[in-house]
């Protein structure tokens, strides 16, 4: 039985070039298949943490491994295949003439060709329910459809971890529900950065709460959201009238 964690972060610290210390020693252990929400107020260090996972930022101290592979400069290409990031704005991710070409771009870039590429693309589109849109331009899709296509572009690369940045942002209720159903159906390790606390509860059994560059809580999502004092202390709030089941 493979006991290698999907993600291992130990003692991660980082200061921006202007001297601003953003992370102060993050420790995080995520098992394969876990779905973990990353919660916290603006400026807490959530995005800085995520940018270390695929090597956009290089750690000042500490170490990160993705499925046993250290995040280092020499491993960057494989790390970026293993850690797929779905951006908050799908228009940052979609730039090809058709949906199918967009979904094929990533795996082709990682050297997948021929039948294997066709299978990866078709499977990813089917998994998020956009097979019927494959010949359309992403410019002509609704925002919710574009977000699902963005998920497919990452899924086609067969990542170890999917990182979702505010996946429910700007979605109308039906698109929000459709995306939740897609994400729950995927057998993937996920980190979901979100301010949408009910969405975190729906999708992620576990949450970490980051503030001031440290993890201040790492518990079942339900327990974090039920702790109103903790939420208030870190400038988070459930929507009016929302009750923890």
| DSSP 8-state assignment for residue 23 | E
| DSSP 8-state assignment for residue 156 | T
Residues 71 and 57 sit within 8 Å (Cβ to Cβ): no
Residue among 201, 195, 205 at smallest CA distance from 236: 195
Query: Which pLDDT score, from 0 to 100, does residue 1 have?
Result: 52
Asked whether the whole model's pTM tops 0.85, one would answer yes
φ/ψ of 110, rounded to 5, equals -90, 10
Query: Which pLDDT score, from 0 to 100, does residue 2 have?
Result: 61
Architecture in CATH of 7-233: 3-Layer(aba) Sandwich (3.40)
| DSSP 8-state assignment for residue 44 | S
Residue among 146, 65, 155, 75 at smallest CA distance from 107: 155
Domain residue limits, the chain: 7-233
Q: How many CA atoms lie within 13 A of 225 on its CB side?
A: 24
- In the chain, where do the E strands start and end? 7-15, 21-30, 35-39, 61-66, 69-70, 83-86, 161-165, 189-193, 206-211, 214-220
From CA 212, how far away is CA 41, in angstroms rounded? 9
Q: Which parts of the chain register pLDDT below 50?
A: none
CA dihedral 8, 14, 17, 20 (to 10 degrees): 140
Query: Which pLDDT score, from 0 to 100, does residue 12 have?
Result: 96
The Cα-based distances of 83 to 6, 60, 78 in angstroms read 10, 20, 9
Query: Which pLDDT score, from 0 to 100, does residue 118 have?
Result: 96
If you write DSSP's letter for every residue of 191-237 in order, what string do you get? EEE-S-HHHHHHH-SEEEEEETTEEEEEEEHHHHHH-HHHHHHTT--
Q: Exposed, middle or buried: residue 174 (CB in 10 Å: 0-12, 13-18, 19+)?
A: exposed
Average pLDDT in the chain: 94
Query: Which pLDDT score, from 0 to 100, does residue 204 have?
Result: 98
């Amino acid at each position: 039985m493979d006991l290698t964690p999907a993600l291992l972060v130990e003692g991660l610290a980082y200061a921006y070039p202007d001297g601003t210390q953003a992370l102060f020693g993050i420790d995080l252990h995520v098992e394969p298949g876990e779905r973990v929400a990353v919660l916290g107020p603006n400026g807490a260090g959530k995005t800085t943490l995520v940018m270390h996972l695929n090597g956009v930022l290089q750690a000042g101290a500490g170490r990160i491994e993705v499925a046993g592979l250290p995040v280092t400069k020499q491993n960057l290409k494989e790390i970026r295949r293993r850690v797929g990031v779905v951006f908050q704005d799908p228009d940052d991710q979609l730039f090809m003439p058709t949906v199918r070409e967009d979904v094929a771009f990533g795996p082709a870039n990682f050297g997948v060709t021929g039948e294997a590429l066709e299978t990866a693309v078709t499977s990813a589109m089917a998994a998020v329910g956009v097979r019927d849109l494959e010949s359309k331009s992403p410019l002509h899709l609704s925002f919710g459809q574009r977000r699902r296509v963005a998920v497919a572009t990452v899924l086609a690369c067969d990542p170890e971890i999917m990182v979702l940045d505010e996946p429910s942002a700007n979605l109308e209720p039906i698109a929000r529900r459709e995306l939740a159903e897609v994400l729950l159906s995927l057998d993937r390790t996920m980190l979901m950065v979100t301010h949408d606390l009910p969405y975190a509860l729906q999708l992620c059994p576990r949450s970490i709460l980051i503030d001031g560059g440290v993890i201040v809580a790492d518990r079942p999502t339900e327990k974090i959201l039920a702790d109103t004092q903790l939420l208030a202390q870190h400038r988070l709030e459930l929507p009016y009238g929302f009750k923890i089941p």
